[in-house]
Amino acid sequence: MYKKHLFYRKTSSIFLVFMFFFTAVSAESIKDKKINIVFRMDDPSAVSSTETEVKILEAFYKTGASVTYGIVPFACEDASDPAPQDLYSFTADKGNIFNTWIKRGTLDIALHGFSHQTRNAVDKSEFRGADYHSQVEKIQKGKKLLETLMDAKVTTFIPPWNQYDQNTLKALESSGFTTLSAAQTVDKTFMSSLQFIPYTVEPIHIKNAIEEARASSDTQPLIVVLFHVYDFIEASKEFGYMTFDEFEEQLKWLKSQEDIRLMSISQATSMLENLHMNRLKSAYKYNNLAKYLPSSLLSYQHTYQQSAQWEKLLAKVIVFYSILLLLVSIVIYILACLLLSKFSLVMKVATFGSTLISVIIAVYAAQDLVSHFKEMIIVIVSIGISLGLWKCYSKK
């Protein structure tokens, strides 16, 4: 009887640790904390709608905010077709229009590739996989055109489809660039002295990102909003999900929040610290680990988190699956001892059979490179079942 009570006390303690670990608030609100929100719009070019792009700039101007436009200097007609195409150079007329907004402090410009034409129809990328010299040539030619047409230095690069490689980083460094804005993905072997400001969220998830940032212990949370003209219903009935009025109201609301400041990529690079590659690599580790936990247990999903967060998440993953394994093993042990212990043959078949099944599941999951939360749950549960059965079987 004493052992049984001791068992339940230990189990209860485990539950208490579990609840404390996953429900504890990461940090109290930090006084004077500012949530930094960068807006980045990709794809303005010679063939895009100038009228729509100006309308967006007007919305930012009304709220006293800045936005970064990732401009394609030599646009093609079909970016997804790798076949040879005519290219359309960014025009002086459009450059003059944008220049007005640059002088007002509303527009920040970045180089968004060369033509935005993919090199491969399946794995879309304009730069990744290309040799160093061809990348340098395209980057420098695009930079020269934009700087000639507009009164601004171009030091930020946005790779089409957010895809790049080590050659891209070297080409940017040798071409006078200081910043790259892509996604929160990076090869662990990459090295660079550039600053990295990856996008973290789309406009539809901004409020979720703000709630997350307010609850974080980060003193300077960073949210990078990526959007396109086709996100607006007025511009694309097929892909649009918000109206211009809704977007403008969202900007007004953001501007009214005392703990939020809106900025462009260039402003972020001059005002914020810790934008180096190590932070990007840490964020990439975090996002990979996040695939193994339910979203309710994640602290950072829509913000560019600081370097130490992936280590905390790794601890969460280990604790979560350890507790799951222990609980499943205990439950199966109790059930097996109550229901199967009298039937030795059934018990033996169940024990050895569950072991074989758990091994097969684990091997299959290990070969599946996209195995995430659901697959891990199945693996851990199957192992827990096997361990519980073996524990009961070994008593005999």
- Do 58 and 167 lie in one domain? The reply is yes
- Pick from 243, 276, 307: which residue ends a domain? 307
For residue 369, the model assigns a pLDDT of 53
Please give the pLDDT value at position 327.
Answer: 95
Q: Is residue 41 located within the same domain as residue 15?
A: no
* 94-117 pLDDT per residue, tens: 999 999 999 999 999 999 999 999
Q: Do 67 and 128 fall into the same domain?
A: yes
Task: Count the residues in the chain.
Answer: 396
* Shared-domain flag, residues 374 and 226: no
**Residue range of the domain that includes 282:** 35-307
Residue where one domain finishes, among candidates 307, 332, 361: 307
Separation of first and last alpha carbons in the chain: 20
Distance of CA 351 to the CA centre of its chain: 42
List the structure tokens of 46: 């010679």
CATH at 122: 3.20.110.20
Q: What is the predicted pLDDT for the residue at 26?
A: 41
Same domain as 344, residue 266: no
**300 plus 350 within the same structural domain:** no
pLDDT per position as a tens digit, 50-94? 999 999 999 999 999 999 999 999 999 999 999 999 999 999 999
Based on the fold, state whether residues 215 and 113 are members of the same structural domain.
Answer: yes
- Amino acid letter, residue 166: Q
The reply to whether 26 falls in a domain is: no
> Last residue of a domain, which of 257, 276, 307?
307
Bridge partners, residue 39, by sequence: 225
One domain for residues 118 and 152: yes
Confidence of residue 307 (pLDDT cuts 50, 70, 90): low
∠ CA 271-275-277, rounded to 5°:
165
Mean pLDDT of 185-207: 94
For residues 296 and 323, membership in a common domain is answered with: no
Q: Are residues 40 and 17 part of one domain?
A: no
Q: Does 27 reside within a domain?
A: no
pLDDT at res. 200: 96
Are 337 and 289 in a shared domain?
Answer: no
The verdict on 376 and 249 lying in the same domain is no
Count other C-beta atoms under 10 Å from residue 205's C-beta: 15
Q: What is the pLDDT of residue 371?
A: 63
Domain count, the chain: 2
Higher pLDDT, 201 or 338: 201
Residues 96-127, buried b or exposed e (16+ Cβ, 10 A)?
Answer: ebbbebbeeebbbbbbbbbbbbbeeeeebbbb
- Give pLDDT, residue 347: 83
> Taking residues 131-154, what's their average pLDDT?
97
